[in-house]
Chains A and B, each alone.
Chain A
Amino acid sequence: MTQPVLEAENVVKELGKGAGKVIALKGVNLSLVKGELTLLMGPSGSGKTTLLSILGCILTPTSGDVRVEGESTAGKSPEQLAELRRKHIGFIFQSYNLFPTLSALENVRIALDVIGRKGYQAAQRAEEVLRDVGLGNRLRNYPSNLSGGEQQRVAVARAIAASPSVVLADEPTAALDSENGHAVMALLSRIAKEQNRSVLAVTHDPRTLGYADRVVRIEDGLIVGEERRPQGLDAPEIADLTKRRKVNG
């Protein structure tokens, strides 16, 4: 059996205090393995982003445990959590979160700089991943000169530059048109398969279903369902299947 790279065990997260306290996660169990693209889907306010933040070691659970490559995050300081992120996790954000004052190449290089990879080799690696995501001709362009799809591909390149075992994506297609959304999902799927990484994407975009190896559904802070991708179906067919399932209840 494949060893999970990221595991959440009975994770509870309370947000706020007193009368305003909300239980965002009510005991979530989830394992991610390498080579899979997992989609985390659910309605607004279901706890998707909170779970993503906890899995990404950005937030800490109120109770329960998260293990990254077998290492528990319990009791770790913010600096130790940052170190775990540096070593094992790459992030892709809905709004790309690129540095507007840095070129595409520099945006990727800074992710390498953060983990201590500097100089010529870092520049080479940044160029390599940008070429890999199809931006070899846009290396010196600033985010303002890139389309939304291109910006998200820079963000993908930044997330994988340091070769993390897990890539977490928050609504990666939400700000993109259909064509670019498909391109980014195809890219994430390829990253999971060809580079043997675990990719988890939070989404409520049905267009993304076709690229998933696994779909996890969350509602009111609980995992309510999980399904494996039917082999041999292409993306539109899966989207259609999902629609039919919804209709049938």
Chain B
Amino acid sequence: MILTLAFRNLFHDRIRLAVTLVGILFSIVLVAIQLGMYLGSSRMITSMIERSNSDLWITAFGAKSFEEGGILLSTRERHQALATPGVKAVIPLVVAFAEWRKPEGGSTRVVLVGTDAEDGALEPWSLVSGTWQDIKSPDAISADDTYFRELGINGIGDTAQIAMGRVKVKALTHRIRSFTQSPYVFTTLSRARSLLGAESDKATFYLVQLEPGADAEAVRLELLNRLEGAEVLTKNEFEDRSLRQWLFRTGAGLALIGGALLGILVGTVIVAQTLYSSTKDHLNEFATLRALGSSSGYIYKVILAQAGLSAVIGYILGILISLGILYISRNTPLPLVMTPGLAGALFGLTLFMSAVSAISAIIKVTRIDPATVFNR
């Protein structure tokens, strides 16, 4: 009967129910978008590190992120690393921002990634046109098809200029997004050095692969001992550092989290307000229940059930709208991400928000004087 009464109380006043649901829905959609952007941004920021086949990353001291590592490491560090027990391979990678001059004029900034795919540390994924062999051909690069407009190109065969040299689009990746909005462009290691004017022994990172059974932490400490002016990070550490750089030092992450908190706050206030007003309207009924001998707990359950029902209905509507927005965002520069974990967390959050919203109503009910039933 608790659920029946809660359901009837809720649907008795359709306008108030609509306001409650709009409050929850608004909150869910706002939080889903903000956290979806946060997750999407996080994935973009860490995608290169995540996709690498490496156990450890050697970076120049103070490297802030994947895109901002400098081209400071030399073969000396590579040889020192290779001589460390437990290390199987040390693979160089060149990464740097570079100017892309469009074929029709104008320029933009790209992140040039120089890698030798044969080494097995990092290679362009999601290739929808062309192969790594095509990228190895003279002047070749791969570009991402979602950035054609920014790059001023139309597809395979188009030419442009990166920093110091001409390049030709020979392969296309699909949806390898960049948080910095500077598209990733893949080419060979030597061509990247050449385009960027770097010396032929220089690298931005060394990706370390370990011998089977090697203790990663022990190797990391040994590498730190041997390499001066370099840092040795696990994949997770480097991902965290990149996230900190782009999401928190720039304030973007705080804005997203702040937006999500605002959504929760607004949703809670709207739901609390409508639930309180509904409870106030049904106060005589709650007083009657109390006079009939119901425990306070029984009445709280009715209010919480009302809050819970609002939460479930509001969540279903909110998540459907959020999924629609996610679908629309899939081809935008910042696609939103929804994971089962986030969907579950949002449901938990909705229930929590509704439970918190019920507090004011419960306080109101706690003060009911059952003697009021005789005054009507």
CB-CB < 8 A to A83: which residues of B? 293, 295
Pick out which of these stretches binds chain A: B67-75, B122-130, B367-375.
B367-375
Tell me if B8 and A85 are in contact (CB < 8 A). no
Tell me if A102 and B8 are in contact (CB < 8 A). yes
Tell me if A101 and B8 are in contact (CB < 8 A). yes
Most chain A CB within a 10 A radius of its CB, from B12, B284, B285, B370: B370
Contacts known (A97-B284, A97-B376, A102-B8); A85 close to B293, Cβ less than 8 A = yes
Tell me if B291 and A106 are in contact (CB < 8 A). no
- Bound complex: CA of A100 vs CA of B282, how far in Å? 10
Tell me if B298 and A114 are in contact (CB < 8 A). yes
* Interchain CB contact (< 8 A) of B292 among A79, A84, A85: A85
| A56 interface residue (CB < 8 Å to B) | yes
Give, as a whole number of angstroms, the nearest-CB distance from A87 to chain B.
Answer: 8
Tell me if A85 and B1 are in contact (CB < 8 A). no
- Bound complex: CA of A59 vs CA of B374, how far in Å? 11
Q: How many residues of A contact B (CB 8 A)?
A: 34
Tell me if A58 and B371 are in contact (CB < 8 A). yes
CB-CB < 8 A to A79: which residues of B? 295-296
Q: Which residue of B lies closest to A164 (CB)?
A: B293
Within 8 A of B (CB), among A50-90: 52-53, 56, 58-59, 78-79, 82-87, 89
A142-176 vs B, Cβ < 8 Å mask (1 yes, 0 no): 00000000000000001000000000001000000
Contacts known (A99-B5, A106-B4); A49 close to B291, Cβ less than 8 A = no
Q: Which residue of B lies closest to A88 (CB)?
A: B293
The number of residue pairs between A and B whose CB atoms lie closer than 8 Å in the complex comes to 77
- Bound complex: CA of A101 vs CA of B8, how far in Å? 6
Tell me if A170 and B1 are in contact (CB < 8 A). no
Give, as a whole number of angstroms, the nearest-CB distance from B257 to chain A.
Answer: 41
Tell me if A101 and B1 are in contact (CB < 8 A). no
Tell me if B1 and A113 are in contact (CB < 8 A). yes
| A110 interface residue (CB < 8 Å to B) | yes
Tell me if A118 and B1 are in contact (CB < 8 A). yes
B284-315 vs A, Cβ < 8 Å mask (1 yes, 0 no): 11001111111110100000000000000000
Contacts known (A106-B1, A110-B1, A113-B2); A58 close to B376, Cβ less than 8 A = no
| A201 interface residue (CB < 8 Å to B) | no
Tell me if A99 and B371 are in contact (CB < 8 A). no
Contacts known (A52-B374, A59-B371, A114-B298); A101 close to B293, Cβ less than 8 A = no
- Bound complex: CA of A91 vs CA of B374, how far in Å? 10
| A93 interface residue (CB < 8 Å to B) | yes
* Interchain CB contact (< 8 A) of A93 among B2, B289, B294, B373: B373
- Bound complex: CA of A113 vs CA of B305, how far in Å? 15
Give, as a whole number of angstroms, the nearest-CB distance from B210 to chain A.
Answer: 63
CB-CB < 8 A to B296: which residues of A? 78-79, 82
* Interchain CB contact (< 8 A) of B288 among A97, A109, A118: A97
Tell me if A115 and B293 are in contact (CB < 8 A). yes
Contacts known (A91-B373, A94-B376, A99-B285); A114 close to B294, Cβ less than 8 A = yes
* Interchain CB contact (< 8 A) of A111 among B12, B290, B292, B376: B292
- Bound complex: CA of A87 vs CA of B293, how far in Å? 8
- Bound complex: CA of A180 vs CA of B127, how far in Å? 85
Tell me if A82 and B12 are in contact (CB < 8 A). no
Within 8 A of A (CB), among B1-16: 1-2, 4-5, 8-9, 12
CB-CB < 8 A to A99: which residues of B? 5, 8, 285, 288
Q: Which residue of B lies closest to A93 (CB)?
A: B373
| A95 interface residue (CB < 8 Å to B) | yes
Q: Which residue of A lies closest to B9 (CB)?
A: A101
Most chain B CB within a 10 A radius of its CB, from A52, A87, A100: A100
A-B contact pairs, 13 of them (CB 8 A): A52-B374, A79-B295, A89-B293, A97-B285, A97-B373, A99-B5, A99-B288, A100-B12, A101-B9, A109-B1, A111-B292, A113-B2, A170-B374
Contacts beyond the supplied A58-B371, A93-B288, A97-B285: 15 A-B pairs with Cβ under 8 Å: A56-B291, A58-B373, A82-B295, A84-B293, A85-B293, A87-B293, A91-B292, A97-B284, A106-B1, A106-B4, A110-B1, A114-B292, A114-B294, A158-B292, A170-B374
B-contacting residues of A (Cβ < 8 Å)?
Answer: 49, 52-53, 56, 58-59, 78-79, 82-87, 89, 91, 93-95, 97, 99-102, 106, 109-111, 113-115, 118, 158, 170
